[in-house]
């Protein structure tokens, strides 16, 4: 078959159209200088309605014997244009990146921006203040775990499973039997006594506690507590009153009024609750003090003889006092905060006041 006959056939026409399309497309591609123009070029030649796509569809109308050669040539042209398109796109992206780097070049001789320092949460500030006051009185800080056993949290503190006093602590239990999130820091008393026995003890045990309670202006389901414990020979209720009076005067100022009320806790005997006159309302009555003029800051008492035995101490020879207080409630009194929910709501407008 001579060349003249070949060019007169449909196959020859398609091959000629493919060569012309390829030359035209490559020539236009070289002159493109933006990603927008490159995308228009892709749509014009390789898109669903592009010139090459239309030409590929026309191959199906050729005689059967002419289709293989025309199809091979069309696929080669398509692959070539796609390859050239990718290389052109990469080149334009490199040029754009270099231009951005040139325009946004950093002058390393300029002074750097000052780094902003963080600040302590108000609860942490109060806790540290409490640590300092009790450190002056010879108390050490002892940290106990937040995940406790039912034995330490209740049973060794005179609260067996059937005891009605358990209703005082709405408890978060875990899926493991006998394991819970501690409801108070008091189980740390057992750990301290068993670790330091038979030495005298003077420690505070700070940490988080968890109770399944309704969240109100006065209560949270997660809160901090500071437990205190002193064990030795001839420790009396007078020692407890002296320690707490000194603590309150250093924290709230010397003119604060304290009162000790009889109360009940299973792990102390006798038990008291310690109140301070409400700083927020000046004793006139508000929702924080429940309109009594007084706010409880601690529950306390002499360590129950059975708790001393559980800790390894002979109550005939040793005695001790214990107390527990809430730092958030103390901060509310000290700074006139009327809602405990502010502490953990992550509102920077509130937290930054104590930066």
124-159: pLDDT as tens digits:
999 999 999 999 999 999 999 999 999 999 999 999
φ, ψ for residue 148, nearest 5 deg: -125, 170
Task: Give the CATH H-level superfamily of domain 122-354.
Answer: Bira Bifunctional Protein; Domain 2 (3.30.930.10)
Query: Which residues, at least 6 apart from 242, have a Cβ–Cβ distance to it below 8 Å?
Result: none
Residue 184: both structure tokens together:
């108070």
Of 285, 320, 302, give the one whose Cα is nearest residue 198: 320
The residues with which 272 forms a beta bridge, in sequence order, are 262, 300
178-225 pLDDT, tens per residue? 999 999 999 999 999 999 999 999 999 999 999 988 777 667 888 999
177-180, long-range: CB < 8 A, 24+ apart: 178/149, 178/150, 178/151, 179/147, 179/148, 179/149, 179/150, 180/147, 180/148, 180/149, 180/150, 180/153
Span 314-326, mean pLDDT?
95
Taking CA 103 as the corner, what is the angle to CA 99 and CA 109, rounded to the nearest 5 degrees? 135
pLDDT tier at 10 (50, 70, 90 boundaries)?
low
Residue 227 · residue 202 · CB < 8 Å: no
Query: Quick check: bond before 270 cis, omega within 30?
Result: yes
How many angstroms separate the CA atoms of 108 and 113, rounded?
Answer: 12
What is the SS3 assignment for 218?
A: coil
Q: Where are the domains of the chain?
A: 7-103, 122-354
229-253 pLDDT, tens per residue? 999 999 999 999 999 999 988 988 7
Give the residue ranges of DSSP H helices in 62-182.
Answer: 67-103, 122-136, 150-153
């Amino acid at each position: 078959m001579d060349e003249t006959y070949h060019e007169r056939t449909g196959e020859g026409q398609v091959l000629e159209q493919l060569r012309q399309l390829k030359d035209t497309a490559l020539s236009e591609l070289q002159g493109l200088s933006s990603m927008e123009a490159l995308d228009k070029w892709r749509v014009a030649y390789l898109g669903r309605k592009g010139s090459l796509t239309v030409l590929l569809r026309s191959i199906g109308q050729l005689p059967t014997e002419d289709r293989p050669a025309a199809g091979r040539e069309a696929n080669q042209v398509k692959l070539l244009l796609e390859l050239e398109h990718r290389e052109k796109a990469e080149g334009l992206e490199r040029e754009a990146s270099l231009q951005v780097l040139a325009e946004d070049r950093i002058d390393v001789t300029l002074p750097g921006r000052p780094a902003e320092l963080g600040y302590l949460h108000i609860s942490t500030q109060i806790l540290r203040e409490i640590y300092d006051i009790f450190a002056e009185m010879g108390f050490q800080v002892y940290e106990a775990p937040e995940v406790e056993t039912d034995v330490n949290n209740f049973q060794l503190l005179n609260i067996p499973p059937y005891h009605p006093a358990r209703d005082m602590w709405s408890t978060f239990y875990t899926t493991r039997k006998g394991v819970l999130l501690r409801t108070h820091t008091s189980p740390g008393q057992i750990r301290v006594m068993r670790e330091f026995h038979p030495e005298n003890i003077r420690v505070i045990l700070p940490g988080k506690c968890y109770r399944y309670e309704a969240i109100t202006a006065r209560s949270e389901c997660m809160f901090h507590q500071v437990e205190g414990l002193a064990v030795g020979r001839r420790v009396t209720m007078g020692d407890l009153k002296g320690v707490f009076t000194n603590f309150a005067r250093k924290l709230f100022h010397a003119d604060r009024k304290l009162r000790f009320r009889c109360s009940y806790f299973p792990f102390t005997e006798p038990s008291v609750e310690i109140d301070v006159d409400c700083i927020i309302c000046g004793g006139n009555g508000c929702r924080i003090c429940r309109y009594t003029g007084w706010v409880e800051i601690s529950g306390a008492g002499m360590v129950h003889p059975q708790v001393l035995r559980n800790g390894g101490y002979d109550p005939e020879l040793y005695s001790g006092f214990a107390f527990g207080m809430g730092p958030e409630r103390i901060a509310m009194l000290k700074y006139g905060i009327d809602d405990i929910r502010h502490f953990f709501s992550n509102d920077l407008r509130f937290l930054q006041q104590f930066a």
